[in-house]
């Protein structure tokens, strides 16, 4: 297989302010070092931050929404809603289980796109109109709620071998406490996972760390019941 050097880049994952820069070459051509670059539709960053990816996601979604507003302004609510769910929201949620933000400002910036979409779909642009009320009328969950559901759904599938997500060995299943078998009233269960202490936000709020914290405190009936009610169906 031949690689095109002009389309290959070097991305070093590090938090150092002055990282080492080794001159990598392919076929005699030196590769360019970058701080972030897209891979399979996700913008990877040298510091493992998702800030740039979220900015790109918001920008792309907003451009598509503006296109819909210009061309579908006279269409029915059903048509505009279908267009939003088909062309805009998938962009807002693509791979969100990985980059789901925990910072309030980033959560709000993503939700602003859906707020504008709610006004577009209902043709309600009066600032006195409650956007939350419009979304309730449309039966739309917030994007944060949808990301939460999608993330936990993927986690559930991963630990039950229903998704191609490998659980690293440093997230072991905790030994079962005998007292939990007899005491069904305790808010605990026998499928808890251990996790290393995370001090860096990029790791603390990563996919495995966040989901384990939530999973370990779920009521036993949600964990032991195979018919988990998590769903990403449209609301």
Is residue 123 in a domain?
Answer: yes
Is residue 58 in a domain?
Answer: yes
User: Does the pLDDT of residue 230 top 70, yes or no?
Assistant: no
- Over the Cα atoms of the chain, what is R_g? 22
Is residue 41 in a domain?
Answer: no
**What is the per-residue pLDDT across 103-158, written as a single tens digit (0 to 9) for each?**
999 999 999 999 999 999 999 999 899 999 999 999 999 999 999 999 999 999 99
For residue 35, the SS3 value is coil
Query: Of the candidates 73, 52, 54, which has an alpha carbon nearest to the alpha carbon of residue 62?
Result: 54
Is residue 159 in a domain?
Answer: no
204 with 179, same domain? Answer: yes
188 with 219, same domain? Answer: yes
Is residue 77 in a domain?
Answer: yes
**Mean confidence (pLDDT) of the chain:** 88
62 with 127, same domain? Answer: yes
Is residue 234 in a domain?
Answer: no
179 with 216, same domain? Answer: yes
Domain span holding position 127? 51-140
74 with 128, same domain? Answer: yes
Is residue 131 in a domain?
Answer: yes
């Amino acid at each position: 297989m031949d690689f095109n050097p002009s389309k290959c880049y070097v991305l070093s994952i590090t938090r150092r302010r002055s990282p080492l820069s080794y001159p990598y070459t392919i076929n005699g051509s030196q590769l360019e070092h970058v701080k972030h670059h897209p891979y399979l539709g996700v913008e990877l960053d040298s510091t493992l931050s998702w800030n740039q990816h979220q900015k790109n996601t918001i920008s792309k979604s907003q451009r598509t929404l503006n296109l819909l507003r210009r061309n579908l302004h006279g269409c029915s609510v059903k048509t505009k809603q279908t267009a939003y769910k088909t062309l805009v929201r998938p962009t807002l949620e693509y791979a969100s289980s990985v980059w789901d933000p925990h910072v309030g400002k980033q959560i709000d910036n993503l939700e602003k796109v859906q707020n504008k979409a709610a006004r577009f779909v209902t043709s309600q642009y009066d600032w006195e109109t409650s956007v939350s009320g419009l979304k309730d009328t449309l039966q739309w969950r917030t994007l944060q709620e949808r990301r939460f559901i999608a993330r936990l759904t993927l986690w559930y599938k991963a630990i039950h071998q229903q998704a191609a997500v490998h659980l690293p060995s440093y997230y072991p299943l905790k030994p079962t406490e005998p007292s939990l078998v007899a005491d069904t009233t305790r808010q605990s269960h026998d499928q808890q996972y251990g996790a290393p202490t995370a001090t860096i936000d990029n790791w603390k709020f990563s996919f495995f760390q966040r989901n384990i914290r939530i999973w370990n405190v779920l009521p036993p009936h949600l964990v032991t019941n195979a018919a988990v009610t998590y769903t990403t169906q449209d609301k």
